[in-house]
Amino acid sequence: MLTAGCIGSSDVEPFETAETAEAPLGRRTVAPIGANGLAPAHFWAAENRAAFRALGGAALAGGGGGVLAATPLLGTEGGRSVLDYTVRCALAEGQVVHAPNGDPYYGSFGFAPAWTGRALNLSEQRWVSACIFQHLNGSGAHVDILLRGDHPALACSPDEAPFLDFFVRDATMFGNAFLPGPIAGFACIDPDLTGELSRISLSCPLDLNLLELDRLCGHVPTCGIAFVGLCNLACTQDTAGNKTCNTLPLLGPLLGPLLGPILGPSYAETIRTQLRDADFLPLYPGCGLL
């Protein structure tokens, strides 16, 4: 029986199904909480990025029966990690696809549940990309993150129990990792984060760009993330806090809507995160040290 609200993600075990048709998006029964332990070295590896881009151009379970389409990502440990997080972001709870050897890959968030039967559309590419960016962690620590955004997959009330401990506003991610080119995504920092950083070290707010890039890139020279500064200078937001962001910083809420579309694309498919207070330092271990 489905509950009326959201419960913690660890409270529900995924069940196997071979869904390959359009999957309807209903109210989530599991809170949109993930553990961002995807190693940047795995995701930004050139061969994995190429395989990831190719994966989006066709049905994820192209062979039918819930079996994954052939992909080089299955050939290495790093590739399988990228595939695991990709399926978690794209497919919904209760959906599962299998590698040819039978290994299961479970859905969780549901940003593109219909991908099992067809290629991704542009909006789905952006949502899945933003979700994956949020799960990158150069520190190697698996830190719980609460995902928020204007998508049915994230439609839980912030007043429900699983959300209450996640009060540190972190970063917003957007972009499209399925497109070619050196820059795949963009990141901005919530202004409230500067106050949290100041509690730890007076130098932390000065390290914002380095801290965020260290989280998303590690020490990978092929990293495709661009840091665009404070979110209130790169994005506009609605009354619920959902952001539409530009790819260039410092346009501000007034100039952004006017100049943003001229100077670069804007993204309504943005995902912001909130953290537990205790998880802040594991996510940004270099705070005050950079």
Q: Residue with structure tokens 């100039």?
A: 255
What are 2-47's pLDDT values in tens digits? 333 454 443 333 322 233 333 333 344 556 888 888 999 999 999 9
Task: State the Cα–Cα distance between residues 136 and 45, nearest whole angstrom.
Answer: 13
Q: Which of 171-175, 211-215, 229-233 has the lowest mean pLDDT?
A: 211-215
The predicted model scores a pTM of 0.84
Amino acid identity of residue 28, one-letter, is R
- By the 8 A CB rule, do 69 and 99 touch? no
Q: Coil, helix or strand for 133?
A: helix
Q: Which of 11-20, 167-176, 201-210, 274-283 has the lowest mean pLDDT?
A: 11-20
Task: State the Cα–Cα distance between residues 21 and 30, nearest whole angstrom.
Answer: 22
How large a percentage of the chain has pLDDT more than 70? 74
159 half-sphere exposure, CB direction, 13 A CA radius: 1
What are 220-270's pLDDT values in tens digits? 888 999 888 888 888 888 888 889 998 876 554 555 555 555 556 889 999
What pLDDT score does 75 carry? 96
Q: Measured at the alpha carbon of residue 33, what is the angle toward residues 31 and 34, in degrees to the nearest 5? A: 145
